[in-house]
Amino acid sequence: MSKRDLKKYLTELTKGQLEEQLIELYEKFSPVKVYYDFVFNPKEDKLLQESKVKISHEYFPVKKPNAKWRPRAKMRRSVAQKIIKHFIMLGVDPFIIADLMFYNIEIAQTYSANNYIKQELFYKSIFNSFEQAVNFVISNGIFAEFKARIEAVYQQTLQQKWKNRYDFEAILDKIDI
């Protein structure tokens, strides 16, 4: 069904029929419920804090009470990417999304500052996140607010002597920082 056909169908329904269909969608489909729960009660700050905790646990897992061993860091970029995609789908403020994007990079750099990482994929992945974050802030017109954090991420790549630090530098050259 095309968008035009859907509009035509919806105009033929009464207000009561529309309400019934929306309630049915809300009850049947979890993404619809999540969307409407967010629209009517955003709590963006709480959502951001919970997301930051999830991301930080990827690098700094919490030892469970009564556990004899401490879990290893999983360092999965996909966890943060999934959260960021969810925020975009919900229509969260771009400033909050960008904050989360840079937090993901910064927590990974904090981890790598204290731990040797031999997987090249880790560095490539963080670079991809950095490139996406920079493009996101530029496209949303909030670059000025994140300029200092962009520079700080780059400085960390230099300080930690990342092998792909020149890729980060190439992005900064493109945007003239």
Q: Report yes or no on whether pTM surpasses 0.75.
A: yes
Residue 177 confidence (pLDDT): 65
**Which burial class, exposed, middle or buried, applies to 81 when counting CB atoms under 10 A from its CB (0-12, 13-18, 19+)?**
middle
For 102-139, b/e burial (b = at least 16 CB within 10 A) is: bbbbebbbebbeeeebeeeebbebbbebbeebbebbee
Per-domain boundaries in the chain: 1-40, 42-175
Q: Tokens 């009561």 identify what position?
A: 16
138: nearest Cα among 101, 167, 104:
101
Residue 156 confidence (pLDDT): 96
Q: What is the full per-residue pLDDT of the chain (177 aa) written as tens digits? A: 888 988 888 888 899 998 998 889 888 988 888 788 877 877 888 888 999 999 999 999 887 777 777 788 888 889 999 999 999 988 899 999 999 999 999 999 999 999 989 899 999 999 999 999 999 999 999 999 999 999 999 999 999 999 999 999 999 998 876
